[in-house]
Amino acid sequence: MWINKNGRLTQSTDTSRTKFKTTVSDQLLKQLQEEADKVNSNISYLLETGYANLLATGHIQFDKKNRPKDRRDFRSTCETELYEQLKAFAKAHKLNLNDVIETAANYIDPTQAKKENWRYRIERCKRTGKFNC
């Protein structure tokens, strides 16, 4: 993201996001990439809507016997608070985080997903609420 300080744009890291690595079904990742391309977003932003919607339901149905066999490493980012809630949800339901992530893909709402260029936004000043501090 960018911050406007004294009339100059300076690049800054979004500290409200957490990077993480997990394993997810390769077939699911391909489907998510196609969906992300359709709505001009990316996989991480799509999955965030799924996480939020899954957490809102408060329950999950997952059969450990039907885990996919084509899992591969997947690096992503997520809002820190949402990620912590997701980890607690997985622990409460005695599931692995990647199982919960794969299930959350069924709860994705593409209309709620952030656009791909969200990371290049110009952040408003927290003190004044304007674009220029």
Length of the chain: 133
Span 66-94, pLDDT tens digits: 888 999 999 998 889 999 999 999 999 99
DSSP annotation of 71 reads E
Distance between CA 38 and CA 78 in Å, rounded?
A: 21
* Choice between 86 and 122, residue whose per-residue pLDDT is larger: 86
What is the pLDDT, as a whole number, of residue 30? 94
Q: Are 93 and 31 in contact (CB under 8 A)?
A: no
Question: Once rounded to an integer, what is the mean pLDDT over residues 9-23?
Answer: 76
Maximum Cα–Cα distance for the chain, whole Å? Answer: 58
